[in-house]
Amino acid sequence: MKYFAAIVVLGVAAILAIAAAHGGHEFPVYPSYYPHDITLETMAPDAAAEGLRSSKIQAYIGPEPGFGAKPPDSIAAVESLGSFIVVRVNPGSALVHDGGSTCTLVRSVIREIASHGEGVTIHPYPVTPLHGDYLYHADLAEAARARFLQEGPPAPHLKVRLIGTAVQNLVRRQWATQSEQWDASVEAVDAETLVEGVATQLNGWMGPPWLRTGWFQAALLLAPSLAEASVRDQVQAERHRLEAADYAGPVERINLERDLVTALTARCDAVVAGFTTKREYFNTDYSAGIENIGYDFITGFDSPTFIRTVKLKDFPWNGWLAIGIDSKPTAAWNPIAGFNDRFGRLLWSALGDPALIPAPNDAGWMLNRISDVQSRGPRR
């Protein structure tokens, strides 16, 4: 099934021309490139591999296509945040006596993942280097790495529940269990799904404003597992201050964010052991490929940034863009409260015109339009 989104830009171009009509030669600000015809086609990964090879599609949003041993030279990829690998301790485990024994248990599981988990970046801190606000947490992340990866005695035999197919090979087979008597669990939490559950898109508005911050995602991941009531109260109070902008300036805000994540990670009831990345592929062939790729650090190509930056090599401004996606449309297509499935969000990225869109490599947002406004005195 194919869906076509025709983007009409003549009216916008005319407005820009009027705004910049000072006489002379060129516009002082060029209208941004935008495909005048965008095709979204649902397809399986195997079909996507063939579509990319033959240039029937220029990009694919979904699981890694089956290229075989190696993608062709004309196919490139971008990487974005895939999943958080979360270790949670069973408070009823016979190995858990206090906070120290809880952390010892988690260290054993993380070291095990480090030795078995191919494709996992060990990073025992919930704000990853892919987050736009990571620099505010870099020293805390390094301290956490030293804390959890320090040498220790050999781990005893552990019973580890593996939740989901993505984590089945992260620990030795002898540790894996589905028994009610388990010591720790390992789960892959998809980063895109995590933010989808709390995101709102309504009449061109996207949010909440803190949706893309590392501290907010850390709270979503770890706050439900906090055992101590006093720590839960502290986290709730600091989160409320951040969401209400109850701080004097950027320095106090950053310190609040650090304090919140420090409270979330002070105990070892639940720990983000690391993360995975996802790869999404696009065709770079000349002249049927694309270039000037912008993408989101969480959602990858499924982003307004991709639609507004990608350029076909065949055309200097417009052209026909074909995108494959693995998800069929399931939601009502309603510009007020709909378009909330994966296919619909990508479609709305092309059709909608919000004032702000997610910044590609930042935790914040950026303006969707450029306006060259000059102050002029009143006409007499």
Summarize pLDDT for 321-333 with one digit per residue, the tens. 999 999 888 887 7
Write down the pLDDT at residue 75: 95
Instruction: Average the pLDDT over each of 141-150, 188-197, 352-361 and give the range with the smallest value.
Output: 352-361
Residue that wins the pLDDT comparison between 272 and 17: 272
How would residue 313 be classed by pLDDT, with cut points 50, 70 and 90? confident
Tens-digit pLDDT profile for residues 224-254:
999 889 999 999 999 999 999 999 999 999 9
- Work out the angle at residue 227's Cα, subtended by the Cα atoms of residues 221 and 231, and round it to the nearest 5 degrees: 80
Predicted confidence at residue 11, as pLDDT, reads 37
Residues in CB range of 316: below 8 A, 6 or more apart = none
- Name all domains of the chain by residue range, CATH numbers in brackets: 2-74+284-359 (no CATH), 81-276 (3.10.105)
Scored b (16 or more CB within 10 A) or e, 226-236 reads beeeebeebbe
d(CA 124, CA 128): 9
| Size of the chain, expressed as the number of residues it contains | 380
In this model, does residue 33 exceed pLDDT 70?
no
Residue type, 251: V
Q: What pTM does this model have? A: 0.84
pLDDT at 219 over 70: yes
